[in-house]
Amino acid sequence: MTDPKPTPPAERAQTAATHGALQEDPMHPSLKMAVAGSVLLSACAQLPSQTGAGDNPFFAASTLPYQLPPFDRIQDAHYAPAFEAGMAEQLREIDAIAGNPEAPSFDNTIVAIERSGRLLERVALVFFNLSSSHTNPQIQALEVELAPKLSAHSDSIHLNPALYARIRKLYDSRDALGLDAESLRLLERYHRDFVRAGAQLGEDDKTRLRAINEKLSSLTTQFEQNLLKETNAKAVIVEDAAELAGLSEDDVAAAAAAAKARGLDGKYVLPLQNTTGQPPLTNLQNRALRERIFKTSIGRGNSGGEFDNRESVSEIARLRAERARLLGYPTHAAYRLETQTAKTPEAAVAMLEKLAPAAVANARQEAADMQALIDQEKGGFKLQPWDWAYYAEKVRKARYEFDESQMRPYLELDHVLQDGVFYAAGRLYGLSFKERHDLPVYHPDVRVFEVFNADGSTLGLFLTDFYARDSKRGGAWMNEFVPQSGLFGTQAVVVNNLNIPKPPEGEPTLLTFDEVTTMFHEFGHALHGLFSNVKYPTFAGTNVPRDFVEYPSQVNEMWATWPEVLQHYARHYQTGEPMPQELVDKVLATQKFNQGFATTEYLSAALLDMAWHRIAPDQAPAAAKVMDFEAAALKKAGVDFAPVPPRYRSTYFAHVFAGGYSAGYYAYIWSEVLDADTVEWFKQHGGLERANGDWFRAKLLSRGESVEPMELFRDFRGAEPSIEPLLERRGLSLQSGKD
């Protein structure tokens, strides 16, 4: 997840596991890529009756190419029995490992655990992918039911004393085992994860830990479902097309189509996205409508009613803090960052606070420029948050003689995908892509591409699911349906999800440049998964620290504006004419425009995340005080600049209260330091060259977390990362925030 990157403002990740199903808590590796909670039937649980099991596609490995799930055979009724059987099967496997009378060995303990839970993994990977991208009431109800069971199941494995005793014995004698580097790292990882999951706690503390984990799994599921339901319910309905002045004809048609789909013929519906800011605010001339959209957006989850998330936020923060104390950490942030490249909350916060003054200073200057324009037009009002995008676009047009809508005819979706994203991957890595129309998909909008290496050998499957719909949560993310593994002989099957408004039937899908950059970003995650070449699935693909996982995807964004690539895909959808060089130059010239806003709204959210997760259990505010806590945290951090609210407010901050980015939203800018430095490396070495791509793939993209991530970076780069390229990219000076 993944969700979800500060610049450009595109939703990434919750991302989750890999950007869509990121788990709340540590769990068995077979579930890490899929489950947002963590499982239990009793230790003596037996497989349920398998009457009809032959009709359940999860009970056997898929026979389709690359073990692609047989979506044409999967029905909602298959999930519950497959989960039940999968949990029972894995518990029997774990009991057999823990009770093995033979002395523990790497193969009969660590590899055996790694091999367990295959049925559970198959169903979880599909279920939690679809619960994000194509849900329904049946899936949502089952997700609520499963959350505490999956939490208990994970605890039953991690808190099994006999199993941990075997792991501990191997860990204590690890230097004498003669393991290869990846196997040694796997042993060390299992020991670390079991300890962090509470394996060394006394029985009373284990009982409390189980209760906390079970409750958290339910709360985070409830938060996500509340947000999806309220986001759909609060889509803004417009009665008169005249109110939509400023939007393009395509946007108005899409709003009419969205209304018709809801049975509101003759009206117009503007769906909300996950973020605070909403796309129509850039062009809508009607200030009252802009204000209505903005206030509707920021009111999600905190305005009362059945979908209010304040109680969940309060309780999640308190329980996370209590669990951290139970496990021996001062705060949840300290617990989380121990395994990240930042290592400590203090290191992460220091970077955020170092950048914040300069970002806010730039944002204030940008606001002054817009206020001057408002006054020049005799607007008679003070700049408000719902005015920012509209007047920023006006300033940009005046300053650069550039209207972003001029670009859209040159950014047709399939051209961007085939002649941009795929073209760059071909030039850099030698990849080629063949669309497969013979394989089943879970929704008609999904497309499947088989991916080949330069020598013609197969690499995996890449699925695209680009259009928004009511059954999909907001944002953009990458997931895996099948992770790469040498142990199981599998190649990756990955999917990219975006939320591009679907045009009326027969009309082209014309993108904003932000959507183009998002497509390149998410494909960077896809490459990370596809290129994985490790033995153990625990280390595969994007199974890396949160503050490292965004790095490869952010690097891939550079090709969106690389001249050779941009010229190849940016062609008029009707005439095929390339984007005029004058327009290209304006696009490139505006890259640093509005960066004060973009950086401030991101830093506000990242610092808010840290504020929630650096508290003691008794410091968690009551539900009624959640928004007061938020306001105080932003003020204390020096980012409480009213015209630039946080990219996410607490009650719809799904990354941290429903996804896997708790105390981790800082990861985007932490990763961007590595990204910006790497972009400089590519430029210094000739850019879009096969030798560069092959080096990046061999040294970093293929290694997953089989090696410590920063060691991978240093091996690739030949040096420590530098922050200067990031500052240059964003047009920031650390001096600009000082008096």
Decide: residue 224, CB within 10 A, 0-12 exposed, 13-18 middle, 19+ buried.
buried
pLDDT reported for residue 40: 24
DSSP 78-113: HHHHHHHHHHHHHHHHHHHHHT-SSPP-IIIIIIHH
Token pair 């001249």 is at which residue?
Answer: 563
pLDDT in tens, 395-406: 999 998 888 888
pLDDT for res 31: 43
The span from the CA of 572 to the CA of 229, in Å, is 38
pLDDT digits 0-9 by tens, 452-494: 999 999 999 999 999 999 999 888 999 999 999 999 999 999 9
Give the side-chain half-sphere CA count within 13 A for 430: 16
Q: How confident is the model at residue 45 (pLDDT cuts 50, 70, 90)?
A: very low
Distance CA 477, CA 12 (A): 5
Taking the C-alpha atoms of residue 115 and residue 230, their distance in angstroms, rounded to an integer, is 40
Lowest average pLDDT, out of 141-155, 323-337, 424-438, 722-736, goes to 722-736
CA distances, 103 to each of 165, 194, 430, 635 (Å): 11, 20, 48, 58
Tokens of 698: 């061999």
Q: Three-state SS for 460?
A: strand
**Residue 47: is its pLDDT beyond 80?**
no
Residues 6+ apart with CB under 8 A from 603: 6, 352, 355, 356, 359, 639, 669
| Alpha carbon distance 437, 134 (integer Å) | 20
Average pLDDT for 509-514? 94
Q: CA–CA separation, 476 vs 485, rounded Å? A: 25
Quick one: pLDDT at residue 53?
Answer: 64
Whether the predicted pLDDT of 684 surpasses 80: yes
Torsions phi, psi for 7 (to 5 deg): -140, 125
Per-residue pLDDT of 568-587, as tens digits, reads 999 999 999 999 999 988 88
Residue 738 has pLDDT above 80, yes or no: no
Q: What pLDDT, on a 0 to 100 scale, did the predictor assign at position 483?
A: 97
Mean pLDDT over 186-206 rounds to: 97
Beta bridge partners of 412: 510
Q: Give the per-residue pLDDT at 736.
A: 52
Q: Which two tokens stand for residue 719?
A: 């040096």
Between residues 18 and 276, the one the model is more confident about = 276
pLDDT-derived band at 32, boundaries 50, 70, 90? very low
Residue 136: helix, strand or coil by DSSP? coil
DSSP calls for 151-210: HHHHHHHHT-HHHHHHHHHHHHTGGGS---HHHHHHHHHHHHHHHHTTTTS-HHHHHHHH
Any idea where the domains of the chain sit in the sequence?
Answer: 29-196, 227-298
182 included as an active-site residue? no
pLDDT score of 732: 78
Least confident range of 42-46, 306-310, 501-505 = 42-46
Query: Model confidence at 65, in pLDDT bands (50, 70, 90)?
Result: very high
Nearest to 289 by CA among 308, 304, 268: 268
Residue 560 has pLDDT above 70, yes or no: yes
d(CA 42, CA 61): 26
The band of 735, judged by pLDDT with boundaries at 50, 70 and 90, is low
pLDDT at 451: 98
Which pLDDT score is estimated for 589?
86
pLDDT of residue 737: 52
Q: How far is CA 545 from CA 17, 339, 491, 530, 551, in A?
A: 11, 7, 22, 18, 10
Q: Can you give 548-569 as a three-state secondary structure string?
A: HHHHHHHHHHHHHCCHHHHHHH
% of the chain beyond a pLDDT of 70: 92
Confidence of residue 734 (pLDDT cuts 50, 70, 90): low
Architecture of domain 29-196: Orthogonal Bundle (1.10)
User: Is pLDDT above 60 for 43?
Assistant: no
Residues 74, 526, 279, 656, Cα dihedral to 10°: 80
| pLDDT classification of 728: cutoffs 50, 70, 90 | confident
**Structure token pair of residue 215:** 């409750």
Question: Contact 273/499 with Cβ under 8 angstroms?
Answer: yes
| Cα 250–chain centre separation | 28
Q: Does the pLDDT at position 158 exceed 90?
A: yes
% of the chain surpassing 90 pLDDT: 86
CA 394 – CA 396 distance, rounded (Å): 5
Structure tokens at 603: 């830093």
* Selection from 716, 667, 666, 656 nearest residue 545 by Cα: 667
Tell me phi and psi for residue 228, to 5 degrees. Answer: -60, -45
pLDDT > 80? residue 36: no
Query: Band of the pLDDT at 591, cuts 50, 70, 90?
Result: confident
- What residue type is 691 in one-letter code? A
Q: What is the pLDDT of residue 49?
A: 38
What is the pairing mode between strands 432-435 and 447-452? antiparallel
Helix, strand and coil percent figures for the chain, each rounded to 5? 55, 5, 35
pTM score: 0.87
How far apart are alpha carbons 143 and 488 in whole angstroms? 28
Confidence of residue 674 (pLDDT cuts 50, 70, 90): very high
Q: Residue 571 in 3-state DSSP?
A: strand
Helix/strand/coil for 499: strand
Give the strand order in the sheet containing 447-452: 432-435, 447-452, 458-467, 492-500, 477-482
Any idea what DSSP says for residue 248?
A: -
Between the two ends of the chain, the Cα-to-Cα distance in Å is 38
Average pLDDT over the chain, rounded to whole? 91
Which one of 84, 522, 601, 630 is the catalytic residue? 522
Q: How many residues does the chain have?
A: 739
pLDDT of 13: 25
CA–CA dist 121, 602 (Å, integer) = 34
